[in-house]
Structure formats: structure tokens, C-alpha cells
A and B are shown apart, each in its own frame.
Chain A
Amino acid sequence: MEVLAYQGLIGLSSAMYLWLISAGLTIIFGVLGVLNFAHGSLFMLGGYLAYTLYGLVGLPFSVSVLGSMAAVALLGAAMERGFLRPLYGLDPSYQLLLTFGFVLLLDDAVKLVWGGVFRIPPIPRWLDGAVVVFGRPFPLYNVFLIAVGLVVGLGLWGLFDRTWWGRSVRATAADREMAAALGIPTPRVFSSVFMLGSALAALGGALGTPVRPVAPGIGAAMIVQAVIITVIGGLGNLRGAFAGSLLVGVLSSYGTLWFPEFELFFVFAIMAAVLLVRPQGLFAS
């Protein structure tokens, strides 16, 4: 019984890690209608930048995380303004292909800068430890990750539900033309949403790297995880992405306990089943 509860807790922390990746992806899809394949690569870039700022430059942990978020957000803005914008009127396949071009580009570009090896940034000293849960040591860092996930969830909810900016984003997502007619600067909304999504990806990468080291090519692996969550929760559904992260995080945590061989298969099978039976997502209202 205690093993199950402990495994559930591990699942919860990996769920929060998945949540940080998928939140930005689903926000961008919900508003812009673009499935950003390069989201995993932005995640990777966030990890590398935080590693450099913290481990090599020697900035404080919080500053390096925020710095990497800001840098990736700027890159996201450049991607949206310079590259995606000309494609909005076209077949969505071209947007997918464009972002896939960025996956190829970014996953290789990091090799130029950081080389082809794994990078594990050091965990800040105040988070390097363990608490005892159910008689077993549980890494303090995972507790921190769970807390950050919850804070980000609350923050996003507040941002979208309680601010003027959030209202104009929701208006734009619901009806682009009508929102523009009402004087909402929809192009700027698009850019800001893309920046927010990119910053969230960077946050995931910066905080996730102590759990899972960054390496070139991890972008392609992470995007698949994020897509699974986003699809299960419903494309563009933020609350769904949160619930989907919990579901996948906890299930795959038990999955590795009970049938480690086929965990990957079942996760994709769940994704396919959701697409077939409830394409609007498991948690659509």
C-alpha cells in the first residue's frame, strides 16, 4: 500500500513536469490554432540556457530560470512574427511543417553551442535534499517541482480568467474577426500568447533538467510527450492539459511499476483511443 502511495507521489511530480511542457503547447494551439512542433525544442533550449546561466555564468538559480524564460520568449516572438504569420491563411499542414523545420534547426543548433553530450545542471543547494515520505526518502526537488506546477496552474488560471489581457485572449480564441472588430489588437495577442507559451516551455526545460538531463534531440522526444498530454486533455484546453498531465504522469508511474515493457505503447494507445472516441479531449466540458 505504501509502495503504491509513494509511486503515486513520484507520478505526481512527473505529472507536474509534463504539465509545464504541455501548458504552453495547448495555450498556443487554443488561441493561434497552430500545433507548434518546435515546442519541445524551446523546452530543450530553456534547459540549456538555464544550465549556462546557472552553472557556467554563476547567476542565482531564480535569475537564471527567469533569464532563460525571457530569452526563449523573445525567440518565440521572432518565430511567430517572422515565420508563422505569413502562413495563417494557408492549409494548417504548412504550419506543422514550418515548426518541424524549427525542430530540425534548433535540435542541431544546440550541438553547435553546447556540444553533443548530456548536460546536468546542478540543483541549488537549498533544494538538494530529501524528505521522508512513507518511510522512504523523497527528493526535495520533486516537492519543489510539484509546488511550481501548482503555482503555474493557479497563475495561468488567474491570468486568463481575471485579467483584461486574459479576456482579450479568450475573445480572440473564440472569434478572431469579431475580436478584431471590437478593437482587440489580435496580432499582438497572437504574439504575446506565443511568447507566454514559449516562456512556459523554457520554464519546464529549466526546472526539468535536474530530473532529466538535456541533450540534443531531446526536443523531438519531449514534443511527443507534450502532444500526448495535449490531445488527451483536448487540443487547446488548458484545464484538460492539467488533468491529462496528472493522468499520464500517475498512470505511467504505475505503468513502469507493473508493466515496464509496454508503458510507451499504452501511452500512445490511450492517445489514439482519445482521438477516436473523444477527439475534443477527455476533459472537455
Chain B
Amino acid sequence: MSPRARRWALGALLVLLVSLPVWASRYVVYLTIHILLLALNAAGFNLLFGYTGLLSFGQAGFYAVGAYTCARILLAWPSLLPGVLGGTVAATLSAVLLGYLSVRHTRIYFSMLTLAFGMMIFSLAWKWRAVTGGDDGLVGVPRAPLELWALTVPLPTVERYYVVVLVAVVAAVALLHRLVRSPLGLALQAVRDSEVRAEHVGLPVRRLRLLSFAVAGTCAGLAGSLLPALENTVTPPIAHWTASAEPVLAALLGGTQRFGGPLVGAFLLVVSKDVIVRFTVHWSLVLGAVVIALVLGFRGGVVSVVEPWLARPRPARRAVARAGEQAP
């Protein structure tokens, strides 16, 4: 796609998203919130996987830290902003701490370490009844109003809450995009491509990995913090390692080699799940088959399949066709 076409497409998508509550049903809006949360989580994950080359199986841990912290704050002090900020900061802090330890390793040892840390957070959510409510989770979390200085915006409907989520996610994804296009983003890719070369040109490899880990954890935490006010409950399964697989699958499905891949993947994952479970309960069977096919045949994801088709220069094709007509 030409830069101009891309700008138009992006603009159209934004208009579509902003106007969604006006024309779409409440269920579609609710579903879109879930797409946005997964998209943010997956985009953060892909900074770590696609751009830095580290496969984390513990993103659900940071998601849960964000969700539980936000829920506790909202239960004590029903105001959205402190809850979401508090949850995100808590997730960032835990990602810095656990990331500092995790980036001592790469490849499979890194994946195993993140799996262990994620499951430690899961077992706390499951068993530390005093703080997390144990297997009942935290219930009755209010959809607290958004309080900005003197202004108080109540969020009684899903549609209104959607606007808050949309603004937060779009802002975060835009920042993330800015990051991967910056020299810092290039440095991360250099680390991914060759650790030795990156070290020799003087890049602080481990610190870059930690930074990537912290940003990914922050994205997961922000996505998690936006959950309790939507669902009014937080339960331990969101921290389980199988939940960590969701951003992984979204990124893989959409494509890990493009910034937009995980976003497309999140959309496809949530929508196809919603459609498939209407026909069959065996959603994960279908998903498993899709994952296997993707890994074997389409490691670039859906984006890599669609992109060449979009990139085909239309006017040129018309010109070729015309040239063909003129030829004898």
C-alpha cells in the first residue's frame, strides 16, 4: 500500500471505531472492547517477540497484575483514572523486576522463566484469598466515573466506557508505533537479528531487552487495568499460562513481522471465536488446526498473505491491461 492509501485506510478505520457506538449494537461494542484490549496486549507482546526476538509465555501475569490492582483500587476508591493508572504502574513495576531476572536468558530458557513467573502470579491470584479473593476472584467492581480535575464523567453504559478504552488503546498503540520506528526500535531489531553484532556495535543488549520486556508488560498491564470496570469482576483464569497464549496467538495469526499484524490478529481471533462458537463448541479444535497451518505454511501471518495483494499497484495494472489491448 502506498503511504497515501495507508493514511486513508487508517483514517477510515479511526472514523469507523469512533463512530461505532452510534451505529453498532451494544454487543458489537462490547466485543470491540475485547478486541482493543487483546490488540494492545498482543502489540506489546510482539515488541518483545517480533521485534526483540524473545518469546514470552507470561504476559497473562502482567495482565492480571494490572487487572487485580485496578480492581482493588476501584473497590476502595471508585474513580477510574487512579485505578487504571495504578494497575498499569503496578504491572510496569512487576515487569521491570521480573524482566530484570528473565532477560538473563534467551530462547527456550527465557520462555520457561516467563512461564514460571506468570504461573507464580497465577498461584497468588488463586490462593492469596485475603488480597485476590482466591478462586472467587474480586466481585462487584464498580464502573467508576472518570474524574479529571473538576470534571466528572459517569460511565453508566458500555458505549461510554468504550470511548475511554478506545482513547487509551489508540494512544498506547500510537506510542508503541512511535517506539518501533525510533532508533531505539531499530536497536531492538538489531538485538533480535544478531546478539553478537549488536554487542559489538556497542548496544547495551541486556538493557534493551529489559526495556522491551517492561514496555510489553506495561501494555499487558494497561489492557488488564481496563478489564475490571467492564466486567465488574476479576477471576484467576486471566492469569493462567493458557491466557498468556492469547496475545501469542493473535500476533502469530496476524503476523509478527509487521507492526499491524498483532492488531489484525486480535480482531480475527476475537471475531472468529465469536462466530465459530455459534456453530460449534469446538472452537479450540479449529484454533489449534489454524495455528498448526500457520506455523507450517504462513509464518508471516494473515498480513503477509494480504499485503502483497494490496501492494499491487492498481494504476499500473490498468496500464498493463490497456497496453495489452493496444497490442496487435
Are the CB atoms of B291 and A101 closer together than 8 Å?
yes
Are the CB atoms of B113 and A92 closer together than 8 Å?
no
Are the CB atoms of B108 and A97 closer together than 8 Å?
no
Give the residues in chain A near B119, CB-CB below 8 Å: 224, 264, 268
Give the residues in chain B near A224, CB-CB below 8 Å: 115, 119, 241
Minimum CB–CB distance from B13 to chain A (whole Å) comes to 28
Q: Given the complex of chains A and B, what is the CA–CA distance between A23 and B125 in angstroms?
A: 30
Q: Given the complex of chains A and B, what is the CA–CA distance between A239 and B112 in angstroms?
A: 20
Give the residues in chain B near A108, CB-CB below 8 Å: 282-285, 288
Are the CB atoms of A104 and B113 closer together than 8 Å?
no
Are the CB atoms of A105 and B292 closer together than 8 Å?
yes
Range, interface on chain B = 35 or more
A100 within 8 A of B: yes
From A8-16, A64-72, A190-198, A269-277, the one touching the partner chain is A269-277
Are the CB atoms of B285 and A109 closer together than 8 Å?
yes
User: CB-defined interface of A100-143 with B at 8 Å, one 1/0 digit per residue?
Assistant: 11111111110110000000000000000000000000000000
Are the CB atoms of B296 and A98 closer together than 8 Å?
yes
Chain B residue at minimum C-beta to C-beta distance from A216: B284
Are the CB atoms of B289 and A107 closer together than 8 Å?
no
Minimum CB–CB distance from A91 to chain B (whole Å) comes to 8
Give the residues in chain B near A166, CB-CB below 8 Å: none
Are the CB atoms of A220 and B242 closer together than 8 Å?
yes
Minimum CB–CB distance from B96 to chain A (whole Å) comes to 16
Chain B residue at minimum C-beta to C-beta distance from A269: B120
Q: Spell out B's residues near A (CB within 8 Å).
A: 49, 53, 55, 101, 104-105, 107-109, 111-113, 115-117, 119-120, 123-124, 126-129, 241-242, 245, 248, 252, 281-285, 287-292, 295-296, 299
Are the CB atoms of B127 and A261 closer together than 8 Å?
yes
Chain B residue at minimum C-beta to C-beta distance from A29: B108
Give the residues in chain B near A92, CB-CB below 8 Å: 107-108
Are the CB atoms of B109 and A93 closer together than 8 Å?
no
Minimum CB–CB distance from B131 to chain A (whole Å) comes to 12
Minimum CB–CB distance from A79 to chain B (whole Å) comes to 10
Report which of B124, B241, B282 forms a contact with A112, defined as CB distance below 8 A.
B282
User: CB-defined interface of A213-252 with B at 8 Å, one 1/0 digit per residue?
Assistant: 0000000100010011001000100000000000000000
Q: Spell out A's residues near B (CB within 8 Å).
A: 35, 83, 86-87, 90-94, 96-98, 100-109, 111-112, 220, 224, 227-228, 231, 235, 261-262, 264-265, 268-269, 271-272, 275-276, 279
CB contact under 8 A between A275 and B105, given known A112-B282, A224-B119: yes
Are the CB atoms of B284 and A93 closer together than 8 Å?
no
Are the CB atoms of B285 and A105 closer together than 8 Å?
yes
Most buried by A among B107, B245, B285, B299: B285
Give the residues in chain A near B127, CB-CB below 8 Å: 261-262, 264-265
The 8 closest A-B pairs by CB, nearest first: A105-B288, A104-B288, A101-B291, A108-B285, A264-B123, A101-B292, A272-B116, A265-B123
Are the CB atoms of A106 and B291 closer together than 8 Å?
no
CB contact under 8 A between A105 and B107, given known A98-B296, A111-B282, A112-B282: no
Chain A residue at minimum C-beta to C-beta distance from B290: A101
Give the residues in chain B near A271, CB-CB below 8 Å: 112, 116
CB contact under 8 A between A101 and B105, given known A83-B296, A268-B123: no
Chain A residue at minimum C-beta to C-beta distance from B98: A272
Are the CB atoms of B296 and A86 closer together than 8 Å?
yes
Are the CB atoms of B109 and A272 closer together than 8 Å?
no
Report which of B126, B290, B299 forms a contact with A94, defined as CB distance below 8 A.
B299
